[in-house]
Amino acid sequence: MHHSLPRIYSRNREKFLQAFMFFAAWTRLPLAGKLVRNVANSYGKSASGAYLLTLKEAQEIVDGSQGLALGPCSCRKVFKNCDGPINAEIMLSMGSNVFIEQRPAEYQQINKEQASALLEDCHQRGLIHTIVKCRDDFYAICNCCSCCCVPLRLSKRYGIGNALVRDANIVEMVRDSAETPHTHSQKTVAQASRL
């Protein structure tokens, strides 16, 4: 994630999720609903969103990750719509470091075998696997339920389809994101060099 954004988000994650759901309800307003939905879909496509994963894809992403941390599923922690396991979110690579730094009591480093076992357990429980992206960074695999998962609820209940999408090339996208310098930084450098 970019600069201070992960620190702000990691400190206020629960508030962000509550705000997403609060504003999503505005999609049902007669006059403003379409505008809110369009803005939210644009945000989901360009800034922050989630991708639905198969178990195999989630395991491949974990296998390719450099550093993992286990922490609470923020959706279930905030909304408490079921009794599914709370510690079910796997932070990936750089994201794991920021979340461990900001919330050391909630996140612990885990190895790939532990992460794979967690994915299997969550799959057996019927939880869905998603990978969350902020701008150019895929930073977490969440194993959530259909009653708490914010991206799923935004998509299904409020018509914000870009909050949760499916892409058959997601593993390659994650791998490319990890290997490629961020486009935003490249554009900034390119623009500065033209001055």
107 within 8 A of 96, measured Cβ to Cβ: yes
Coil, strand or helix at 131:
strand
Model pTM score: 0.84
**Arithmetic mean of pLDDT, 86-91:** 95
**Arithmetic mean of pLDDT, 138-154:** 95
Domain count, the chain: 1
**Arithmetic mean of pLDDT, 165-184:** 82
Q: Residue 58 and residue 102: Cα distance in Å, rounded?
A: 25
The boundaries of the domain holding residue 108 are 5-194
**Arithmetic mean of pLDDT, 20-27:** 96
Q: What was the pLDDT predicted at 173?
A: 93
**SS3 string of 10-77?**
HHCHHHHHHHHHHHHHHHHCCCCHHHHHHHHHHHHHHCEEEEEECHHHHHHHHHCCCCEEEEECHHHH
Q: Which of 124, 58, 57, 46 is nearest to 89 (CA)?
A: 58
**Is it the case that residue 108 has pLDDT exceeding 70?**
yes
Q: What was the pLDDT predicted at 190?
A: 34
- As a residue count, the chain comes to 195
Q: Which residues contact 32 (CB under 8 A, 6 or more apart)?
A: 26
**Is it the case that residue 180 has pLDDT exceeding 80?**
no
